[in-house]
Structure 1
């Protein structure tokens, strides 16, 4: 079992999306994901075909974030907390969630902006 640290919670929150339109392709999904991740500062994405029993076609996404430099990271899934921590440069998840949250952070950043204008 994974040990809880200052950057991990026991809970895991996923981000999901849905777009409905005629003529959508996998390329459209890749464009949406590139736009989403670029707003989090991750612009170097690689897409790889993958097997997933619930979706077809499926793919994995690999990215590079400048703040990690040459550190190797392997991971899966996407939480709401981790991109928020990266975006607002929060090192300790307890500064974002829980009873010890600095309400000044919440008051200063009433809305989480992803660069949407």
Structure 2
């Protein structure tokens, strides 16, 4: 019976039952033909693929849902933050996990710029005890410009990526119904990797997963990340 259930899930994944059709139509149009300043992907957007439910690979899905809800009423500047479990189909090594906890921050207001994003990131990570940061241009399908965030890991003696960031593209925001002058800056990071840097741990598997030393967990005091009040 278990084998039959597994085979069914593989060939017939669960599907979403309801989507806002007007929004779906705008997403399809932007993807296939462009709009809102985008040229689109010039390929077919398949509804059956979009309907499939899957384990989320990042919490941007949560941010998108909140921005869509925000667009339904008169615009008010907002800040959103989430911490949740995400899943990746990738190999596990000293700095990567197949599942981990992701933190995401989103700030939406009129007239925001890349300078605002950099300033927020520097302040955010300094409150976590990481003031030595570097930024590297990157590509994300939903943000432009985009930046990877690096911090120096004394234990590994190298710069380690601790997050990703960017400004949401107009072709993502305007189909939701947000005003043209609204800008959204966002960043995401794992909870585990900054913890590695703060506590000089050189293997992320010592913090999360089946290789965690339970004796160490039981005998060590609770660790708190000191965050000063604003």
TM-score range for the pair, normalised by the shorter chain length = 0.5 to 0.7
| Higher deviation after alignment, 25-34 or 87-96 | 87-96
- Match for residue 43 of structure 1 among 132, 137, 155: 132
Q: Distance in 2 between matches of 1:89 and 1:72?
A: 13
Indicate the residue corresponding to 1:108 in structure 2.
222
Give the SS at the match of 1:14.
strand
Q: Distance in 1 between matches of 2:153 and 2:94?
A: 21
Indicate the residue corresponding to 2:115 in structure 1.
27
Structure 2 matches for 1:52-91, cutoff 5 A? Answer: 52-55=140-143, 57-65=144-152, 67=154, 68-69=156-157, 71=158, 78-91=189-202
Question: With structure 2 as the length reference, what TM-score do the two structures score?
Answer: 0.37
Q: Distance in 2 between matches of 1:7 and 1:66?
A: 11
Q: Distance in 2 between matches of 1:7 and 1:52?
A: 21
* Structure 2 unpaired stretches of 5+: 1-89, 165-188
Tell which has more relative contact order, 1 or 2 (C-alpha 8 A, sep 6+): 1
Query: Contact 2:102/2:191 (CA < 8 Å) preserved in 1?
Result: yes
Question: With structure 1 as the length reference, what TM-score do the two structures score?
Answer: 0.62
Q: Report the alpha carbon displacement of residue 17 of structure 1 after superposing the two structures with TM.
A: 0.6
Q: Distance in 1 between matches of 2:97 and 2:160?
A: 18
Query: Contact 2:101/2:191 (CA < 8 Å) preserved in 1?
Result: yes
Q: Distance in 2 between matches of 1:66 and 1:72?
A: 6
Query: Contact 1:34/1:45 (CA < 8 Å) preserved in 2?
Result: no
- Structure 1 or 2, whichever has the larger Rg, is 2
Give the SS at the match of 2:148.
strand
Q: Report the alpha carbon displacement of residue 96 of structure 1 after superposing the two structures with TM.
A: 2.5
- 1:97 aligned to 2:204? no
Q: Distance in 1 between matches of 2:139 and 2:94?
A: 33
Query: Contact 2:162/2:193 (CA < 8 Å) preserved in 1?
Result: no
Q: Which structure has greater helix proportion?
A: 2
